[in-house]
């Protein structure tokens, strides 16, 4: 069945942000809504209710919200006129989300001149997803046009995900639940499907016959910061690999869906997750690396924590397209540079016709930079100009989204929030998809526990523990940025 038009005008909406005074709301949600209202996509009659535990007058909250927008909206994009329009949509309510009796005033307000679409955004810990959902159901605040947005990670392991998911499904239908992963809202990530399935050139060579291996890196310069309490109980595997990196892997490896429709895309991603090779404890010992940056224990206030701030791993997808092709994933904090990137390394040429060259330049690779600058580069070998025979050098054919389209690229949260309002779940994770990701992640968690693998120390500002480089060196390879 062909997809419906996904560019239809949005309906006026009520957006209710639980945990609305937190860091995520200040850094991402408020600026995203500011831009969408400024650009005329979010109808001006929409209302945004910010919920927090602390009693606060509306004017006091607006001062706080303005500071957040002035800080996180790109310099030059913030204006008094646009702020006043946005502020007119904002309201603040103090509420203890664990106490259903405190929902009555909010229900009364929402019921007065209700908007066609009602969005509950749960920017809280996953432990509150079930209780909030139950309270909304008890108070009959879930309408036909209601959606609920859940932030990652959902659960701490497979069992806790299942329990949390069941609790939310007791109140909402699956089609009303939007499990958000902001990486899927990035333009370059979406462009990956266009690159693959909109260009005959790439799709015909997108397999293990031509591709040697794939590298996926999500690197951060910052440490744990104010998230130390949360982070120390989760670590890099749960915080980044189980969701962000596995989602990127799915988009690289999936088969073409019949159409870009919600279930068709998610069906193909689910097949990839089911094809990921399970790891035994012995596999985990040789195919994964745990690391912790020096100074982490000071950042969390001392103690003997072994929580990993770095993970590198090698995995395989056991299907016809990718059999025998390794996928290398890594992520970490306090690394040398902040960036997210996918590198598709193609196999060497089968025969060198330039016998005077003892070593042939490395062969083609496709480099997809997700952040901070969204670019796609194809590296090819070319002749260095001049007489004296053939001298070859790798050069990059580059496409920068900013340079090509010459306009501001909306943030991922802008796209995803509008998709929620529009009712398009294509870029959100389905229940069975998240469960499959947790099932595979459990192999690593169990293997680390059984083998007693400790986090290897690494210097802040480097590229992780030396074992991460050795993971590829055993296969005669190196991480891309080290070349």
Active site residues: 244
Q: Taking the CA atoms of the chain, what radius of gyration do you get in angstroms?
A: 24
Specify whether the CB–CB gap between 131 and 102 falls below 8 A.
no
Handedness of CA 421, 425, 429, 432 (dihedral sign): positive
Question: What is the distance between the alpha carbons of residues 280 and 301, in angstroms, rounded to a whole number?
Answer: 34
Tokens 């595979």 map to which residue?
Answer: 440
Alpha-carbon gap, residue 375 to 362, rounded angstroms: 21
Q: Which two three-digit tokens encode residue 418?
A: 């509008």
Do the Cβ atoms of 169 and 133 come closer than 8 Å? no
Contact between 209 and 422 (Cβ < 8 Å): no
Q: Are 261 and 1 in contact (CB under 8 A)?
A: yes
Residue 425 DSSP label: -
Contact 251, 192 (CB under 8 A): yes
**DSSP percent split of the chain into helix, strand, coil, nearest 5:** 40, 20, 40
Asked if residues 460 and 293 have their Cβ atoms less than 8 Å apart, the reply is yes
Q: What tokens were used for 423?
A: 């009712």
Name the residue with tokens 């080290």. 482
Closest by CA position to 56, among listed 110, 86, 109, 92 = 92
Containing 253, the helix (H) or strand (E) segment is helix 246-253
Closest to 399 (Cα-Cα) out of 217, 194, 184 = 194
């Amino acid at each position: 069945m062909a997809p419906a038009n996904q560019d239809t005008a949005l309906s006026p909406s009520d957006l209710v942000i639980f945990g609305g005074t937190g860091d995520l709301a200040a850094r991402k949600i408020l600026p995203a809504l500011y831009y969408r209202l400024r650009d005329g996509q979010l109808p001006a009659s929409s209302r945004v209710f910010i919920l927090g535990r602390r009693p606060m007058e509306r004017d006091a909250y607006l001062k706080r919200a303005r500071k957040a927008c002035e800080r996180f909206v790109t310099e030059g994009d913030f204006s008094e006129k646009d702020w006043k329009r946005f502020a007119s949509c904002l309201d603040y309510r103090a509420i203890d989300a664990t106490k259903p009796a405190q929902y009555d005033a909010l229900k009364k307000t929402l019921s007065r001149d209700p908007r066609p679409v009602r969005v509950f955004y749960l920017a809280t810990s996953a432990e509150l997803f079930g209780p909030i959902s139950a309270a909304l159901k008890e108070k009959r605040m879930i309408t036909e046009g209601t959606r609920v947005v859940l932030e990652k990670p959902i659960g701490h392991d497979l069992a806790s995900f299942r329990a949390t998911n069941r609790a939310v499904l007791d109140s909402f239908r699956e089609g009303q639940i939007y499990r958000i992963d902001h990486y899927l809202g990035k333009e370059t990530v979406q462009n990956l499907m266009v690159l693959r399935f909109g260009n005959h050139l790439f799709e015909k060579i997108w397999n293990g016959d031509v591709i040697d291996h794939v590298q996926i890196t999500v690197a951060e310069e910052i440490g744990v910061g104010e998230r130390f309490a949360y982070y120390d109980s989760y670590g890099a595997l749960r915080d980044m690999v189980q969701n962000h990196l596995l989602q990127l892997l799915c988009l690289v490896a999936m088969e073409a869906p019949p159409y870009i429709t919600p279930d068709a895309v998610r069906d193909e991603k689910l097949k990839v997750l089911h094809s990921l090779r399970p790891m035994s404890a012995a596999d985990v010992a040789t195919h994964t690396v745990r690391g912790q940056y020096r100074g982490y224990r000071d950042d969390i206030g001392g103690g003997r924590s072994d929580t990993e701030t770095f993970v590198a791993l090698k995995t395989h997808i056991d299907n016809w397209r990718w059999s025998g092709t390794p996928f290398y994933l890594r992520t970490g904090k306090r690394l040398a540079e902040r960036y997210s990137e996918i590198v598709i390394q193609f196999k060497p040429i089968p025969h060198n016709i330039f016998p005077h060259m003892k070593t042939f330049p490395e062969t083609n690779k496709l480099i997809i930079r997700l952040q901070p600058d969204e670019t796609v580069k194809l590296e090819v070998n070319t002749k260095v100009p001049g007489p004296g025979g053939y001298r070859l050098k790798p050069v990059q054919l580059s496409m920068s989204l900013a340079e090509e389209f010459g306009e501001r690229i909306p943030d991922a949260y802008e796209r995803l929030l509008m998709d929620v309002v529009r009712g398009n779940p294509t870029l959100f994770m389905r229940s069975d998809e998240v469960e499959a990701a947790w099932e595979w992640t459990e192999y690593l968690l169990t293997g680390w526990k059984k083998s007693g693998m400790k986090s290897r120390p690494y210097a802040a500002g480097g590229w992780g523990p030396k074992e991460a480089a050795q993971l590829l060196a055993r296969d005669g390879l190196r991480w891309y940025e080290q070349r």
